[in-house]
């Protein structure tokens, strides 16, 4: 094993964007469907979620934690999982991820556990990231003057949860090619009324989405910390993936409120090189290539390498974006460690980096950059 990988195995990570895992048993369908990020429909009979890079990575790297041989057969894997029960499976994987801090997006919880459970299973810390669109749905339900209500509610939730950041899923709602200029207060209120009249669910009005993001950036500017996480790229099929090219965020980033703001572009596949450009161009822009690391499995090494192009090294973060099966909470960390060690060892072998620099930059991405950004 490389010395660097050895070092990373003993380094605890900050998983700066993650969700809960399932604490209770569920059917095989739930598990297999969770191995496909983009398609939420059942697979055809001729297909198998295991026949994918993620499925192979789970069999290769997760099976041993369930006392199976690497590359265990899918049926054997599922049987062993069932024997142990979801809670034991979760405890093993979450406990083995080597994560010191889970920053948990609690905006969409489904059957998954909350931050406390992740923390207790791993003997580490868990903090809350607030999803702006969920807060908007709460604010519109309150009624009254929407701009003031939303602003108050966001501040209150930050305090209630001692939240460490905000997240927006505007990628899933309109994509990034919207009008990012400051909306008129009265127009925001009127748009909120229209939205309330339509039921006030699943916010997709571009002006209200923009208002939510601007409110978060304003609170960040006042209080410090509280970076804005922006889902970018690969996600489920409701998304117009081509409208989530992070370059479409340029008009926002050029707005005075955003140019120096702390922003984390999440995941970014297949636009990780474009995200790296933004991280070089704007002082506060950071990025990770989580989520896709899990889905690319044996190909994640190349993705990690591409994330190390234009992006300054103090702008790179680690995340798993795990949701549901706790394999994802572990696997993200495992693939990141092995992939990063392989990529950085290669830089050293080629004479491009010193061994000391490789270790230092690995530590920055593993945890130190996130500690600085989120003021942990």
Tell me which of 26, 29, 39, 156 binds a copy of itself, using CB under 8 A: 39
Residue 316: DSSP 8-state:
B
Tell me which of 27, 44, 224, 256 binds a copy of itself, using CB under 8 A: 44
| Cα gap 96→255, rounded to integer Å | 42
- Judged by beta carbon, residue 132 or residue 171, the one nearer a copy of itself is 171
Is 34 near a copy of itself (CB under 8 A)? no
Binding mask 243-282 for a copy of itself (x = CB under 8 A): --x-xx-x--xx--------------xx--xx--x--xxx
Tell me which of 52, 120, 125, 174 binds a copy of itself, using CB under 8 A: 52
Smallest distance from the beta carbon of 186 to a copy of itself, in angstroms?
31
Tell me which of 5, 7, 155, 313 binds a copy of itself, using CB under 8 A: 313
- Return the bridge partners of 129, or none: 105, 165
Smallest distance from the beta carbon of 31 to a copy of itself, in angstroms?
16
77: helix, strand or coil? helix
Cβ(50)–Cβ(32) below 8 Å:
yes
Smallest distance from the beta carbon of 128 to a copy of itself, in angstroms?
24
Tell me which of 18, 170, 305, 326 binds a copy of itself, using CB under 8 A: 305
Is 308 near a copy of itself (CB under 8 A)? yes
Longest dimension (CA), the chain: 63
Smallest distance from the beta carbon of 300 to a copy of itself, in angstroms?
9
Tell me which of 77, 102, 166, 295 binds a copy of itself, using CB under 8 A: 295
Q: Helices then strands (H, E): number in the chain?
A: 19, 7
Cβ(344)–Cβ(361) below 8 Å:
yes
- Judged by beta carbon, residue 184 or residue 309, the one nearer a copy of itself is 309
Tell me which of 230, 296, 326, 328 binds a copy of itself, using CB under 8 A: 296
Cβ(169)–Cβ(231) below 8 Å:
yes
One-character DSSP codes across 320-336: ----BSTHHHHHHHHHH
Cβ(141)–Cβ(200) below 8 Å:
yes
Tell me which of 257, 353, 363, 371 binds a copy of itself, using CB under 8 A: 353
Cβ(125)–Cβ(101) below 8 Å:
yes
18: helix, strand or coil? strand
Contacts of 119 (CB under 8 A, 6+ apart): 102, 125, 126
| CA 261 from centre of chain | 19
Is 310 near a copy of itself (CB under 8 A)? yes
Is 25 near a copy of itself (CB under 8 A)? no
Scanning 9-17, 164-172, 190-198, 296-304 for contacts with a copy of itself by CB under 8 A, the matching segment is: 296-304
Sign of the dihedral defined by the CA atoms of residues 297, 176, 317, 375, in that order: negative
CA dist 153 → 119, 149, 284, 294 (Å) = 26, 6, 25, 35
Is 179 near a copy of itself (CB under 8 A)? no
Q: Provide the binding-site residues for a copy of itself, judged by CB under 8 A.
A: 36-39, 41, 43-44, 46-49, 51-53, 56-57, 60, 70-71, 234, 236-237, 240-242, 245, 247-248, 250, 253-254, 269-270, 273-274, 277, 280-284, 292, 295-299, 301-302, 305-306, 308-310, 312-314, 347, 350-354, 356-357, 361, 364, 372
């Amino acid at each position: 094993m490389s010395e660097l990988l050895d070092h990373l195995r003993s380094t605890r990570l900050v998983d700066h964007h993650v969700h809960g895992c399932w604490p209770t048993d569920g059917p095989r369908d739930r598990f297999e469907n969770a191995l496909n990020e983009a398609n939420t429909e059942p697979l055809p009979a001729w297909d198998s979620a295991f026949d994918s890079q993620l499925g192979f990575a789970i069999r290769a790297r997760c099976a041993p934690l369930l006392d199976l041989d690497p590359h265990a057969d899918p049926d054997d894997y599922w049987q062993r999982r069932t024997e142990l029960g979801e809670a034991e499976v979760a405890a093993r994987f979450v406990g083995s991820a080597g994560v010191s801090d889970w920053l948990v997006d609690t905006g969409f919880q489904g059957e998954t556990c909350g931050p406390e459970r992740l923390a207790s299973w791993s003997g580490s810390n868990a903090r809350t990231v607030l999803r702006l669109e969920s807060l908007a749905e709460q604010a519109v339900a309150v009624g009254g003057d929407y701009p003031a209500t939303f602003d108050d509610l966001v501040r209150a939730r930050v305090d209630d949860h001692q939240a460490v950041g905000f997240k927006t899923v505007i990628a899933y709602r309109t994509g990034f090619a919207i009008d990012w200029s400051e909306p008129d207060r009265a127009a925001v209120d009127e748009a909120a009324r229209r939205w309330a009249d339509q039921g006030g669910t699943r916010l997709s009005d571009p002006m209200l989405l923009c208002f939510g993001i601007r409110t978060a950036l304003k609170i960040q500017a006042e209080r410090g910390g509280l970076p804005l996480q922006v889902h970018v790229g690969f996600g489920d099929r409701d998304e117009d993936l081509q409208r989530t090219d992070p370059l479409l965020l340029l008009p926002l980033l050029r707005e005075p409120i955003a140019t120096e703001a702390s922003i984390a572009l999440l995941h970014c596949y297949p636009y990780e090189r474009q995200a790296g450009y933004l991280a070089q161009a704007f002082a506060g822009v950071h990025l990770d290539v989580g989520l896709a690391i899990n889905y690319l499995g044996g190909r994640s090494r190349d993705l990690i390498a591409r994330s190390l192009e234009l992006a300054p090294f103090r702008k790179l973060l680690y995340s798993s974006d795990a949701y549901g099966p706790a394999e994802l909470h572990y696997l993200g960390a495992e693939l990141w460690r092995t992939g990063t060690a392989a990529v950085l060892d290669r830089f050293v072998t080629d004479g491009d980096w010193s061994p000391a620099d490789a270790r230092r930059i690995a530590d920055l991405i593993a945890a130190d950059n996130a500690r600085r950004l989120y003021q942990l």
